[in-house]
């Protein structure tokens, strides 16, 4: 080992350095007991905290790391162990092969909007799970989101995370990464899960635009902008992404926590429906956040009225643009761009024409859709949808379809409004299913989510949690098979040993080898010496690795002998509703 790289941390043998931070180093290491690669993060509190507080903070940090270790979610890096060596505290975590989101952003790679939706939805679900367990991360940033080779995100580093009721961070002490902090975190105020949601908004903005919403040459400048300034609208920066992203970002980045999403699942829902969202949300606060937050709490109705008034202005402008294109565009009823008037239009009129062309594209180009009365009715439908009056949208769309069959805009709004209604109807059921999953009742979770899909076939949460539950149940079953095989070896139960095997040829080979053991050894004993590491190649194929020891008394000599010891790796395949062993091999 070179430089400041250690050779051993606790029982863990260091392999290489994975990264360095302000308070410590992250190593790739080997757990010798179970021959598993892990990530070990060291933390040196004396580098950030002085005096007598070190011991108190270190002890609290240990307890909270242990609490975070109870988090078990498909998109959260598992914590296996925590320990101390002198002044150094270390956390042993699941080792994710891949890259951090920070490296992906830093590389300048173009990230597709569809993948951004999938990525951020999974992160939202993972963070919501932690919040339900009472844990606020406090340092959500791209460097703490790891992406494996399949593109799946893993939320990492609860190193500065804390229980909601913890006091590890003293009042006025700022922890976290400045560019991704919430206003309340910058000001040293009490924070909750909505602070993490603000950080998610920063990351979403950066993924879409390639720039941070609050940047500056110094930390002081960054912090000032977080508290006092609003970022540029994504619509002004990007022309090729769904405008609904602006709605999500502006809501997540609201200065006042009361105006943000109140849970990560709310944000995940909007991400999954980004194409159907309005183009903007509340007017973002400007000026000192402290004064505005207090004023907003005293005058909620006035603020709501201003937002509604702004929405009316946007709708009136949109209606004017439609009128210009179809009735006043210098070309008669067809709305084409002929004549000399179009060449002389002002900049404002040109912008209205661009918006109207988008409306024309949305509504189709048939003579029916260009009829002024039809255009007006479509605009009314659009307004009802944007106001989230989805029942009215359905009614108005049905009425228009009687008059204008197959009208593309009416069909589109009808489908989107029905989807919103279905989503709202099943939302309590979805929440129940997620809570059931978090309690570990995966079969019940699947049943609930199947009910959701019967009512809302495209519900992403239901689809995801059915998959999560299926994997959890499969892991349980595979572990039970391995344990059943172990006991059957000790009890000389050949039929039971063979019952878990799928292919006849594999069963025949297993029968020959195990009969040889039974014929030559008595008092057989077997032990599993490590955690059983199960990885899925796809939904129906999995590999299980574990350390194993098989021994017995050799009948010819009466001496207790080791028959087999070392790693085992078995392949499993789902056959019908059960899993079967399809291959035995030893690495």
Looking at the 3D structure of the chain, how many domains does it have? 3
Question: Which CATH number do you get for residue 282?
Answer: 1.10.510.10
For residue 257, is pLDDT > 90? yes
Q: Are residues 125 and 205 in the same domain?
A: yes
Task: Please report the pLDDT score of residue 334 as a whole number.
Answer: 34
Q: How many angstroms separate the Cα of 565 from the Cα of each of 39, 444, 544, 586?
A: 26, 39, 16, 10
Domain boundary among 50, 70, 94: 94
Residue 71 to residue 75: CA distance in whole angstroms:
10
State the alpha helices, DSSP H only, in 210-299: 219-228, 234-237, 244-252, 264-272, 289-298
Q: Are residues 278 and 132 in the same domain?
A: yes
- Name the DSSP class of 191: -
- pLDDT tens readout for residues 95-108: 998 899 999 999 98
Residue 170 near residue 131 (C-beta atoms within 8 A)? no
Question: Which CATH number do you get for residue 518?
Answer: 3.10.450.50
Domain boundary among 62, 94, 126: 94
Q: What angle do CA 424, 430, 432 make, to 5 degrees?
A: 125
Task: Please report the pLDDT score of residue 50 as a whole number.
Answer: 56
Please identify which residue in the block is written with the tokens 């240990």. Answer: 62
Residue with more model confidence, 125 or 64 = 125
Q: Are residues 119 and 236 in the same domain?
A: yes
- Name the DSSP class of 501: B
For residue 496, is pLDDT > 90? yes
Q: Are residues 78 and 136 in the same domain?
A: no
Chain-wide mean pLDDT for the chain?
79
Q: Are residues 107 and 222 in the same domain?
A: yes
State the alpha helices, DSSP H only, in 15-168: 53-68, 101-106, 113-132
Run of H or E residues at 528: strand 521-528
Residue 86 near residue 136 (C-beta atoms within 8 A)? no
Of 100, 80, 99, 72, the residue nearest 30 (C-alpha): 80
448 domain residue, yes or no = no
497 domain residue, yes or no = yes
Domain extent, residue 528, equals 474-585
Residue 551 to residue 70: CA distance in whole angstroms:
35
Residue with more model confidence, 56 or 333 = 56
Q: Are residues 153 and 231 in the same domain?
A: yes
As given in the structure block, the two tokens for residue 458 are: 């495209």
Residue 52 to residue 243: CA distance in whole angstroms:
52
- pLDDT tens readout for residues 544-578: 999 999 999 999 999 999 998 889 999 999 999 89
Question: Which CATH number do you get for residue 60?
Answer: 3.30.200.20
Q: Are residues 73 and 121 in the same domain?
A: no
447 domain residue, yes or no = no
For residue 534, is pLDDT > 90? yes
Residue 278 near residue 386 (C-beta atoms within 8 A)? yes
Average pLDDT of the residues in 399-412: 89
Residue 8 near residue 88 (C-beta atoms within 8 A)? no
502 domain residue, yes or no = yes
255 domain residue, yes or no = yes
Q: Are residues 198 and 284 in the same domain?
A: yes
Active-site amino acid positions:
139
Q: Quick one: pLDDT band at residue 57, thresholds 50, 70, 90?
A: low
Q: Are residues 75 and 113 in the same domain?
A: no
As given in the structure block, the two tokens for residue 391 are: 């029942």
Q: What angle do CA 156, 157, 163 make, to 5 degrees?
A: 110
379 domain residue, yes or no = no
- Least confident window among 57-61, 213-217, 219-223: 57-61
- Least confident window among 40-49, 110-119, 297-306: 297-306
306 domain residue, yes or no = no
Q: Are residues 84 and 118 in the same domain?
A: no
Domain boundary among 298, 321, 341: 298
Q: Are residues 105 and 243 in the same domain?
A: yes
Q: Quick one: pLDDT band at residue 370, thresholds 50, 70, 90?
A: low
247 domain residue, yes or no = yes
Strand-strand pairing, 98-100 and 88-94:
unpaired
Q: Are residues 86 and 137 in the same domain?
A: no
As given in the structure block, the two tokens for residue 338 are: 């002929």
DSSP 14-34: EEEEEEE-SS-EEEEEEETTT
């Amino acid at each position: 080992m070179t430089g400041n790289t250690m050779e051993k941390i606790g029982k863990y043998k260091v392999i290489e350095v994975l990264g360095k931070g302000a308070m410590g180093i992250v190593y790739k290491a080997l757990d010798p007991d179970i021959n598993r690669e892990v990530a070990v993060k060291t933390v040196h509190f004396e580098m950030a905290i002085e005096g007598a507080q070190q011991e108190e903070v270190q002890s609290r940090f240990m307890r909270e790391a242990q609490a975070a270790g109870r988090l078990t979610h498909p998109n959260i890096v598992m914590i296996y162990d925590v320990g101390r060596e002198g002044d150094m505290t270390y956390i042993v975590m699941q080792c994710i092969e891949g890259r951090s989101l920070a490296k992906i952003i830093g590389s300048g790679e173009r990230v597709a909007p569809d993948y951004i939706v999938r990525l951020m939805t999974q992160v939202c679900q993972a963070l919501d799970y932690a919040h339900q367990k009472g844990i606020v991360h406090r340092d959500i940033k791209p460097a703490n989101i790891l992406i494996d080779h399949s593109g799946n995100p893993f939320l990492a580093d609860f190193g500065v995370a804390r229980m909601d009721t913890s006091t590890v961070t003293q009042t006025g002490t700022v922890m976290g990464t400045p560019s991704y902090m919430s206003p309340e975190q910058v000001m040293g105020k009490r924070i909750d899960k909505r602070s993490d949601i603000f950080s998610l908004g920063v990351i979403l903005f950066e993924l879409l635009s390639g720039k941070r919403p609050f940047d500056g040459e110094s930390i002081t400048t960054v912090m000032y902008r977080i508290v006092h300034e609003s970022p540029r609208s994504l619509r002004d920066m990007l022309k090729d992404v769904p405008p609904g992203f602006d709605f999500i970002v502006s809501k997540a980045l609201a200065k006042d926590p009361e105006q943000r999403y109140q849970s990560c699942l709310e944000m995940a829902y909007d991400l999954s429906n980004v194409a159907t969202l309005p183009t903007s949300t509340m007017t973002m606060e400007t000026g000192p956040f402290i004064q505005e937050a207090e004023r907003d709490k005293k005058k909620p109705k006035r603020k709501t009225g201003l937002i509604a008034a702004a929405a009316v202005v946007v709708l009136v402008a949109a209606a004017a643009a439609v009128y210009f294109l179809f009735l006043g565009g210098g070309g008669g009823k067809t709305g084409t761009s002929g004549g000399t008037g179009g060449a002389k239009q002002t900049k404002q009129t040109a912008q209205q024409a661009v918006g109207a062309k988008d409306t024309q594209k949305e509504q189709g180009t048939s003579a029916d859709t260009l009829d002024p009365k039809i255009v007006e009715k479509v605009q009314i439908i659009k307004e009802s949808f944007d106001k989230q009056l989805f029942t009215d949208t359905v009614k108005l769309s049905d009425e228009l379809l009687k008059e204008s069959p197959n009208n593309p805009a009416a069909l589109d709004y009808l489908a989107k409004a029905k989807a919103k209604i279905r989503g709202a109807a099943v939302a309590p059921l979805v929440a129940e299913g997620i809570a059931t999953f978090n309690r570990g009742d995966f079969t019940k979770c699947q049943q609930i989510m199947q009910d959701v899909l019967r009512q809302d076939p495209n519900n992403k949460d239901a689809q995801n949690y059915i998959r999560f539950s299926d994997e959890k149940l499969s892991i349980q079953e595979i572990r039970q098979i391995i344990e059943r095989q172990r006991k059957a070896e000790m009890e000389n139960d050949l039929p039971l040993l063979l019952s878990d095997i799928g292919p006849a040829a594999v069963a025949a080979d297993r029968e020959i080898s195990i009969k040889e053991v039974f014929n030559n050894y008595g008092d057989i004993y077997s032990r599993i010496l490590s955690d059983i590491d199960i990885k899925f190649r796809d939904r129906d194929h999995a590999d299980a690795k574990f350390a194993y020891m098989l021994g017995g008394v050799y009948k010819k000599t009466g001496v207790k002998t080791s028959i087999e010891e070392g790693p085992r790796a078995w392949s499993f395949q789902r056959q019908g509703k059960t899993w079967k062993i399809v291959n035995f091999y030893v690495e």
